[in-house]
Amino acid sequence: MSAQTLIGSISRCHSYKNASAFTNVVLRSFLRNKPTFDLRTELQHSSAIRGYSTFDVLGNKRFSFDTRLSTGLNTSPQLFLHNTNIRTYAKLAQTKTTTNIKDIEIEKEEFDINDPSIVSKDEYVPSRFDEITSISPKTQQALLKVFKYHEMSKVQDAVLSQLPVEGDLFVKAKTGTGKTLAFLIPAIETLLRNSRLENRGEMVSVMIISPTRELAQQIANEANQLLSFYDYKVHCLVGGESKRIQVKKLSYKRVDFVVGTPGRLYDLLTTEPHFKRQCNGIKTLILDEADQLLDMGFREDIEDIVKFFPKERQTFLFSATVSKQIRQIANLSLKPDYKFIDTVDPNDVNTNLQVKQSYIITPYESHLTTIRNIMKEHKKSHKKGKIIVFLPTRNGTVLYAEFLRNLGDMEVFELHSGLSQAQRTRVSNRFRKSKHDAILVTSDVSARGVDYPGVTMVLQIGAPSSREQYIHRLGRTGRAGKEGEGMLVLAPFEKEFAKIISDLPIKEVDGQSYNVKDDGMIERAIEELDIDQIRDACSSFLGYCKY
């Protein structure tokens, strides 16, 4: 069976009355060439991990997002390659969607707009860092000479104008707005106020918890830059890297700042008594991307981790959204008199107005042709722009990256949880530093927080796991006030998702105009694909979708 035929077979799944009928059709095709392949087994395996049967939800049923697990994980037999610990997966299997549209309604009810503790959200006029006299000279020096920053972003101004910060902060801020500096600078000032002459960095002073390895590494890099003129040291504790080496560095280097992911932090706190003792000195705890921490199933981990830290500490919680679950984490980790700072306009849907948004509905077998033509059209007006392509699964990411490489006209980078941490870091850095047109094909490991300069387009293939995930992916372009473009490619059976985001400034474009095979390059690129890769992508896609 040809690659084109195999890719096309999945697009017809919605026409069968039940998934078993479709599975039998595909199996008969596969068995001609792959007698050992059992799609039914693969689908049952991948869906069982998520807590419901794929065969209960496939067929001619309405496409729904109400009960899909919003985990950001890859749904395939290789699911456990993700960096979260096993305990988290057990919780995920018992959990339904942690974030949905109802949460947005909750946001409106949670806070009194007349509450004097809420900072005003008037039209922002940029202020300068050097106007904040409470920022220490060495920090100002780093901002000017290392970052070369003069003016503050809205969230930076809202937080830094509170210096010196004495209590806890709950900050609602969009991704890509400079919030990393907004929490690092107050943490440094708190550390300086509480420093003793005999403090030689033997105890952790600032602990930052991040949902992903990539974001943790980015925060650690910014912290190192900000601390260029101090003696303080930063440790990044994430999975995928040698635990032994991390523990060794903790034992002989200063440990002023620690940035980590929940899985590795919990592991070290429960197995390394020396690190547990070092955390008794924590002055400031920062929970970054708190909504994403919950979406990825880390709630119990956070609750357990916080118990290891001193109660007399300062805590900052940053989140792009505010839901009932976020409020519960806030009540657990923050003191009752915390200050809430909202830097998001009530009419803002967390997307940048500079981002032109559109979506296409086209059969699945046309997706490869469609994305090729979308990119070709985009390149006409963005000669050196970078493009990020989001796929819902790891196997889909591998397949689409290989297809784009086969075309041979752009540099293609591939990023997903199946890569080692060293590989992911290397790919991320190469794409970030790329000066010419390049494509990053990625799963949701890149959906939030990570900043890639020069991204002019975000292309999302298939319906995202939620409305919020669509928005966070889109946030990889149009950053720092620059223009960007976002396009969503849906199969006909995914069209219900378009209704979920219909309140956004997004319009439908004609899919037929992009489904044109020109010079034979597309067909050759498809035929060069490995049949096993296509098989894996199709099976994981079916395990991901809910009909």
pLDDT averaged over consecutive 10-residue blocks of the chain (547 residues)? 54 43 42 40 41 31 33 32 34 35 33 39 73 95 95 94 93 87 96 71 94 93 97 95 94 95 96 96 95 87 95 94 87 93 68 77 88 90 89 90 89 89 88 87 75 90 87 82 87 90 86 76 84 78 58
Q: Return the beta strands (E) in 322-398 as ranges.
A: 339-342, 355-361, 386-390
Q: Are the C-beta atoms of 323 and 290 separated by less than 8 Å?
A: no
Identify the pLDDT of residue 4: 56
Q: What is the largest CA-CA distance in the chain?
A: 75
* All residues at 6 or more sequence positions from 361 whose CB lies less than 8 Å from its CB, including other chains: 490, 491, 492, 494, 495, 498, 508, 511
Domains of the chain: 1-81+349-547 (3.40.50.300), 122-195+202-342 (3.40.50.300)
Identify the pLDDT of residue 531: 84
Identify the pLDDT of residue 425: 86
Phi, psi dihedral angles at 76 (to 5 degrees): -160, 165
Identify the pLDDT of residue 53: 31
User: 3-state class of 456 per DSSP?
Assistant: strand
For residue 433, give both structure tokens. 């530093």
d(CA 459, CA 66): 24
For residue 354, give both structure tokens. 């500079």
Q: Are the C-beta atoms of 343 and 156 separated by less than 8 Å?
A: no
Tell me, yes or no, if the pTM score tops 0.95. Answer: no
Q: Are the C-beta atoms of 178 and 155 separated by less than 8 Å?
A: yes
Phi, psi dihedral angles at 503 (to 5 degrees): -80, -10
Count of residues in the chain:
547
Identify the pLDDT of residue 8: 55
* All residues at 6 or more sequence positions from 511 whose CB lies less than 8 Å from its CB, including other chains: 360, 361, 362, 366, 370
Q: Which residue has the tokens 């020096």?
A: 141
Identify the pLDDT of residue 5: 55
**Cis upstream peptide for 492 (omega within 30°):** no
